[in-house]
Structure 1
Amino acid sequence: MSESSQPCDPYARLGIVRNPDGTITSDRTKFPRVPPTPDFVVSKDFKVNQSKSTWMRLYAPITAPNGGKLPLVVYFHDGGFINGSFDLKPVHGFCNCMALKLNVVVASASYRQAPEFKLPAAYDDGLHALKWIKNLPDNGWIKTYVDLSEVFLMGTNSGGNVAYNVGIRSTEEDLTPLCIRGLILLDPFFGGQERCESELRHVNDQHFPLALTDLCWKLCLPDGADRDHEYSNPRMGDRAGNMEIMLRWKVIITGERGGAMIDRQRDVAKLMKENGVYVIEHFTDGGDPNKTETMFAFMPSFIYSSPPLEFFF
């Protein structure tokens, strides 16, 4: 167990100020942001919904074949549903590298965040982003470079949770010509009322103590909901025992052995497998300096391959 030298103030860690009148204010201006870049990958910003101030940054490798089409990865950033943005420097660098290394087009979508906008606002925005892509004109950037029959939803941490829930919601919509092929959940953020062992081992973790995860859920879940809400705990709700909607997808879940979320991630993988979903688990040791490079090394085989036929019947 990692021990913190001082008690953690989870509000301060999230950049949130508690006001005397009981309200809270979040400051998202302290993180470095970067514009689109024209390097080995061309990127460009598009406004998705003006009334909700949602955006999308598209990335296309300049080596994209003339007349050829590439898979599309729709990516949702991390930040515990509270912080983060599609144009933060680390997010931009990751998506830029992903487009280049995986030879895909990346659509990095923004979404409204708590505490101002509680769930399901982020899921609504993610689904709206897919509809926005669907309705682009035929001469648009995506229609030019993308094979819309090969779409993957991807997210890191809370973004993995968004990708999971947007994927479920997408099955209830006609998104033709988009065809979602699978989910890529990177260290996804899930929870539950009963503490799992990996959470208890990290109760005083220096980087992300249990009090911080609890606050994230408190601020983002609907009023009156606890961590056993279906947005947090996939074993709850109507779809926990019925995942037929995902049977033609392939799913990969990554995480760190010994990490605070590893038991949750393994349980979600187990739940999907119990329902017949094709799932690959890729768990690595924590502190691996080559973690991103390792992921980019195995990800192309996941994107460009098909699940075994037995998972279709």
Structure 2
Amino acid sequence: MNDEIVHDLYLIKVYKDGRVERSTDEDTIPPSLDHKTGVQSADLVVSAETGLSVRLYIPKTAINTPQKLPLLVYFHGGAFCIGSAFSPSCHNYINSIVGSANIVAVSVNYRRAPENPIPAAYDDSWDVVKWVASHLEGKGQSEWLNSNADLNRVFFAGDSAGANISHNMATWLGLSSSEEVVGRIKLKGIVLVHPYFSGKEPIGSEVDTPEMKVFMDAFWSLASPASTDGLDDPLINPEKDPNLGRLGCERVLVCLAENDFLKERGCYYVESLRKSGWNGVVEVMEAKDEIHVFHLQKPGCENAIAMRQRIISFISQQD
């Protein structure tokens, strides 16, 4: 065993012999019937080959009662390197959204870097989007989706890296042909909570805190060592994406936190999207005095409740 550390990013250490040590809470919680919200969850394997799995959520109103409800596809955060769809914080947060919004949800447990470098997380997420689309005729793997998911009212959402994935999945969907099965689902909107974006050139307050930018950018370098464009890869810097204006949804909600270092990138994303030629509507909500992913750390605080209600309202909005 070689104890020499080649990457030490506080939250994750990578040793020379390939071992990966995550210092964050790696606890997981099984699917269940949540007595607080009445939401039922279950896990399914989407790909035995890669180990890709999802956690499905259904509200109490739909248990054993076929009815078509909006579908939320959720991508967890963690800088592509940490976090899980099965973590208590992610699981409980989705329970609260599903129970209050009366929707169906699919939470994606994509492969993490550095063991599975980029584009694994994106490929897994796209495989789930295609898997969701396979339920269009009511003959997919999940009976919950067959009976209860309205694929004409689909939403993508995620926090941090998961928000980044949500944006990129919406872009890939926008580039899909209507002749493809995946191109037939109707993505109504995406919700980006504290999105993890970056770029080679610092912007705004990043200029004054170069050490923080170096720290955040190191996660992308660890997750995507083969990227020829580095921090200007369109996957991490949407402003460099010539297809930004092809975003495949009608509405976008970007949630920011006042004291989040990534706030500048969230604002820059909104500005870039509005200039891209995309003809949808982008909304912005900012939580005062809060830090990155505060809503997972203290879900019962006033700002977290307000943000959750805004997300629910965004999903529930009628055309």
TM-score clears 0.5: yes
Partner SS, residue 256 of structure 2: strand
Out of 144, 149, 152, which is 1:146 matched to? 149
CA distance in 1, matches of 2:214, 2:288: 24
Matched to 1:229, the amino acid is: D
Out of 173, 180, 183, which is 2:190 matched to? 183
Is the Cα–Cα contact under 8 Å of residues 255 and 265 in structure 1 kept in the other structure?
yes
Structure 1 unmatched runs, 5+: 1-8, 308-313
Q: 1:188 to 1:25 in 2, by over 3 A?
A: same
* CA-CA distance at 1:267 after TM superposition: 1.0
Q: CA RMSD in A?
A: 2.4
Corresponding residue of 1:63: 61
Matched to 2:235, the amino acid is: Y
Corresponding residue of 2:308: 296
CA distance in 2, matches of 1:215, 1:10: 9
Structure 2 unmatched runs, 5+: 1-5, 295-300
Partner SS, residue 63 of structure 1: helix
* CA-CA distance at 1:134 after TM superposition: 2.1
Name whichever structure is richer in helix by fraction: 2
How many residue pairs match? The answer is 290
Partner SS, residue 130 of structure 1: helix
**Match runs of 1:11-90 below 5 Å:** 11-19=8-16, 23=18, 25-27=20-22, 31-39=26-34, 40-64=38-62, 66-90=65-89
Is the Cα–Cα contact under 8 Å of residues 101 and 316 in structure 2 kept in the other structure?
no
Corresponding residue of 1:118: 117
CA distance in 1, matches of 2:102, 2:57: 10
Deviates more, 1:170-179 or 1:70-79: 170-179
CA distance in 2, matches of 1:164, 1:181: 13
Partner SS, residue 297 of structure 1: helix
* CA-CA distance at 1:18 after TM superposition: 2.5
Deviates more, 1:93-102 or 1:272-281: 272-281
* CA-CA distance at 1:189 after TM superposition: 0.4
Corresponding residue of 2:224: 221
Corresponding residue of 2:104: 105
Is the Cα–Cα contact under 8 Å of residues 254 and 281 in structure 1 kept in the other structure?
yes
Corresponding residue of 1:263: 264
Partner SS, residue 128 of structure 2: helix
Are residues 1:239 and 2:276 paired? no
Matched to 2:199, the amino acid is: G
CA distance in 2, matches of 1:16, 1:154: 28
Matched to 1:57, the amino acid is: R
Partner SS, residue 107 of structure 2: strand
Partner SS, residue 129 of structure 2: helix
